[in-house]
Amino acid sequence: MEEMLCRSVADVKQHFKTLTLQFGSKWWIISRMFRIHPEGYLIISKGGNVCLGILDGSEVLDGSTIILGDISMRGQLVVYDNEKNRIGWMHSDCAKPKRSSDNVSLFEG
Do residues 57 and 107 both lie within one domain?
Answer: no
For the stretch 54-103, pLDDT in tens is: 877 777 777 777 777 777 777 788 888 889 888 887 777 777 766 655 56
Q: Are residues 17 and 67 in the same domain?
A: yes
Q: Which residues lie closer than 8 Å to 28 by C-beta, 6 or more apart?
A: 22
Tell me, yes or no, whether 63 and 83 share the same domain: no
* Co-location of 62 and 93 in the same domain: no
pLDDT of residue 109: 59
Per the structure, the count of domains in the chain is 2
Pair 101, 56 in one domain: no
Domain that holds residue 70: 1-74
Q: Are residues 3 and 13 in the same domain?
A: yes
Are residues 64 and 91 located together in one domain of the fold?
no
Q: What is the pLDDT of residue 85?
A: 84
